[in-house]
């Protein structure tokens, strides 16, 4: 299957001169995790993602004052329409991206996300994942953050750990934990709130679910694409044992 | 073919539920052994939970959390409920079938066949695609055990019939 078959052709663009907070607000309005950046030059393309905004906050920046041009995703984030999904997935894994701009002879024609790729794979080649358990792909190195910590602290921890999400334990023992993700930080930025004042417990991700470590990876992939989740928290009788993201699934898939 | 009268059904179904539950519990005990010996890799209810149930609970995180943490108990309970339902259905079968000594074993094997031939392939379980003769034989055996225990001597579903005093098994109720 080729990138052109799964990409989104409707490009969402923000100006390079725009304030990050305003760009974040537009991304939330459009319910997208990235925006193509028009730099107004002959080489106009860059991209800004949830991850870049998390890094801005985590490194102490002010989203209400910073400009999009200064916070573009680093590295090569481009794909061609004729690339196979495997090649696009490999590029994402190598760069740690979840989105690639699709260029047809230097002309932007779409954007492909990791969700598009996993969604296509779960529809077409799902059997490949049936015999694989979630434990084989999950991340066991958990980042735990207290509910009373500030969002600035949470963002800094996530950036330092290279994590897209952190576990937030419940107030009650044995109750379900929550998570906070780069998406939740994006929402906070979009609403103009101060990350030094806002508490993690008030910004938990509403969009998450749980699985056991021995459930099939196929189920996790289907759940993420149908439920719109970026992460699934893995629990067993002893408590939280891991977390799995779409990048983890794709990495295991390519293995 | 004579099905039970409507006024008999509730009592017979209740007996069927009780016997079906006990039979399923006995199956569970046998599966502890066959799984422990490595003859069975994954039981059918286990496979359904691990390979298919997520789609149903993905938008219910509290339920997903509960199932993920307590899956051993949940799988057993689900199996017992399925066994109880099978017992209730057995109790409503025609008397001419229940009259046979092989009715219970045949019913048990039929419930296994339903899983192998319809549930597993329809749900796309891995078990439907793997060559696993030993595991299939173990499943056939434990379903056979289910049927034997469920049926007993079949008198419980035909309380108005006189108990057998002799003669060939197939002619127990020839005069009924």
In chain B, residues with a C-beta closer than 8 Å to the C-beta of A222 are: 54-55, 58
> Residue A79 pairs with which residues in a beta bridge?
A102
Residue A184 and residue A81 share a domain: no
CA atoms of A48 and A91, how far apart (whole Å): 17
Region label for A176, one of left (φ > 0), alpha (ψ between -120 and 50) or beta (otherwise): beta
Please tell me the distance in Å from A227's CA to the nearest CA on chain B. 7
Residue A7 and residue A120 share a domain: yes
Q: Which of A73, A101, A124 is the last residue before a domain boundary?
A: A124
Mean pLDDT of B125-135: 84
Residue A86 and residue A7 share a domain: yes
Instruction: Answer whether residue A129 is part of any domain.
Output: no
Q: Do B68 and A211 touch (CB under 8 A)?
A: yes
A2 closest CA partner among A96, A102, A93:
A102
Q: For residue B18, what pLDDT band results from cuts at 50, 70 and 90? A: very high
Q: Minimum mean pLDDT among A189-193, B37-41, B88-92, B155-159: which range?
A: B155-159
Q: Do B50 and A215 touch (CB under 8 A)?
A: yes
What Å distances lie between residue B5 and B151, B155, B165, CA to CA? 19, 16, 26
With an 8 Å Cβ cutoff, is A15 touching chain B?
Answer: no
Please tell me the distance in Å from B29's CA to the nearest CA on chain A. 22
Residue A155 and residue A95 share a domain: no
In chain B, residues with a C-beta closer than 8 Å to the C-beta of A206 are: none
- b/e A206-215 (16+ beta carbons within 10 angstroms → b): eebbbbbbbb
Q: Are A201 and B37 in contact (CB under 8 A)?
A: no
Residue A198 reports pLDDT greater than 50: yes
The CATH number for A150's domain is 3.10.580.10
The confidence score (pLDDT) of residue B28 equals 94
In this structure, the number of other CB atoms found within 10 A of the CB of residue B138 comes to 20
CA atoms of A2 and A85, how far apart (whole Å): 6
Report the percent of chain B where pLDDT is more than 70: 84
Instruction: Answer whether residue A111 is part of any domain.
Output: yes
Unique residue bearing structure tokens 């954007």: A111
Domain enclosing residue A7, as ranges: 3-124
Residue in B closest to A178 by C-alpha: B61
> Which residues, numbered 143 to 182 in chain A, qualify as contacts with chain B under a Cβ-Cβ cut-off of 8 Å?
176
Q: Do A226 and B58 touch (CB under 8 A)?
A: yes
Report the percent of chain B where pLDDT is more than 90: 49
Please tell me the distance in Å from B61's CA to the nearest CA on chain A. 5
- Token pair, residue A82, equals 């004729």
Residue A29 and residue A94 share a domain: yes
How would you classify the pairing of strands A231-236 and A239-245?
A: antiparallel
Instruction: Answer whether residue A164 is part of any domain.
Output: yes
Instruction: Answer whether residue A204 is part of any domain.
Output: yes
Q: For residue A42, what pLDDT band results from cuts at 50, 70 and 90? A: low
3-class DSSP string for chain A: CEHHHHCECCCCEEECCCEHHHHHHHHHHHCCCEEEEECCCCCCEEEEEHHHHHHHHHCCCCCCCCEHHHHCCCCCCEECCCCEHHHHHHHHHHHCCCEEEEEECCEEEEEEEHHHHHHHHHHHCHHHHCCCEHHHCCECCCCECCCCCEHHHHHHHHHHHCCCEEEECCCCCCCCCEEEEHHHHHHHHHCCCCCCCCEHHHCCCCCCEEECCCCEHHHHHHHHHHHCCCEEEEEECCEEEEEEEHHHHHHHHHC
Q: Do B54 and A220 touch (CB under 8 A)?
A: yes
Residue in A closest to B126 by C-alpha: A130
Residue A76 reports pLDDT greater than 70: no
Size of interface A-B (CB pairs under 8 A): 67
Query: Where are chain B's structural domains?
Result: 10-158
Cα-trace Rg, chain A: 18
Residue A138 and residue A62 share a domain: no
Q: What is the pLDDT of residues A174-184, one digit of tens each?
A: 889 999 999 99
DSSP of B65-80, one letter per residue? HHHHHSHHHHHHHHHH
DSSP of B10-61, one letter per residue? HHHHHHHHHHHHHHHHHHHHHHHHHHHTTS-SS-HHHHHHHHTTHHHHTT-H
Q: Do A216 and B68 touch (CB under 8 A)?
A: no
Q: Which of B49, B64, B73, B124 to mutate to test the interface with A (most CBs of A within 10 A)?
A: B64
Residue A49 reports pLDDT greater than 70: yes
Number of domains in chain A: 2
In chain A, residues with a C-beta closer than 8 Å to the C-beta of B61 are: 176, 208-210
Residue A181 and residue A101 share a domain: no
Question: What count of Cα atoms within 13 Å lies in the side-chain half-sphere of residue A155?
Answer: 31
Residue A80 and residue A171 share a domain: no
Residue in A closest to B50 by C-alpha: A215
């Amino acid at each position: 299957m080729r990138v052109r078959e799964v990409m989104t052709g409707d490009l969402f663009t923000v100006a390079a001169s725009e304030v990050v907070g305003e760009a974040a607000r537009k991304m939330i309005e459009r319910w997208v995790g990235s925006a193509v950046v028009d730099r107004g030059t002959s080489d106009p393309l860059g991209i800004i993602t949830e991850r870049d905004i998390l890094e801005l906050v985590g490194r102490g920046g002010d989203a209400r004052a910073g400009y999009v041009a200064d916070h573009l995703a680093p590295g090569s984030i481009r794909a061609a329409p004729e690339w196979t999904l495997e090649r696009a997935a490999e590029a994402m894994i190598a760069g740690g991206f979840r989105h690639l701009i699709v260029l047809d002879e230097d002309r932007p024609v779409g954007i492909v996300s990791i969700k598009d790729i996993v969604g296509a794979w779960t529809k077409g080649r799902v059997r490949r994942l049936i015999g694989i358990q979630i434990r084989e792909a999950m991340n066991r190195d958990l980042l735990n953050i207290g509910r009373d910590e500030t969002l600035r602290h949470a963002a800094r921890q996530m950036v330092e750990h290279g994590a897209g999400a952190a576990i937030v334990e419940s107030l009650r023992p044995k109750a379900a934990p929550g998570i906070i993700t780069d998406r939740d930080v994006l929402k906070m930025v979009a609403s103009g709130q101060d990350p030094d004042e806002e508490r993690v417990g008030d910004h938990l991700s509403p969009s998450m679910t749980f699985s056991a470590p021995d459930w099939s990876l196929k189920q996790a992939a289907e759940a993420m694409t149908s439920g719109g989740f970026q992460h699934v928290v893995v629990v067993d009788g002893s408590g939280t044992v891991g977390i799995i993201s779409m990048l983890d699934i794709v990495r295991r898939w390519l293995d | 073919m004579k099905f039970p009268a409507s006024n008999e059904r509730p009592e017979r179904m209740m007996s069927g539920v009780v016997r079906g539950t006990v039979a399923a519990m006995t199956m569970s005990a046998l599966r502890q052994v066959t799984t422990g010996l490595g003859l069975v890799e994954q039981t059918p209810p286990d496979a359904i939970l691990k390979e298919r149930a997520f789609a149903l609970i993905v938008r219910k995180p509290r339920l997903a959390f509960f199932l993920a943490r307590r899956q051993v108990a949940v799988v057993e309970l689900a199996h017992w409920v399925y066994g109880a339902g099978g017992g209730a259905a057995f109790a409503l079968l025609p008397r001419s079938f229940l009259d046979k000594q092989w009715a219970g074993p045949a019913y048990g094997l039929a419930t296994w066949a339903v899983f192998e031939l319809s549930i597993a392939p329809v749900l796309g379980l891995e078990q439907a695609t793997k060559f696993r003769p030993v595991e299939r034989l173990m499943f056939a055996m434990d379903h056979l055990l289910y049927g034997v225990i469920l049926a007993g001597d079949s008198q419980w579903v035909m309380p108005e019939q006189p108990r057998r005093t002799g003669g060939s098994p197939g002619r127990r109720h020839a005069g009924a």
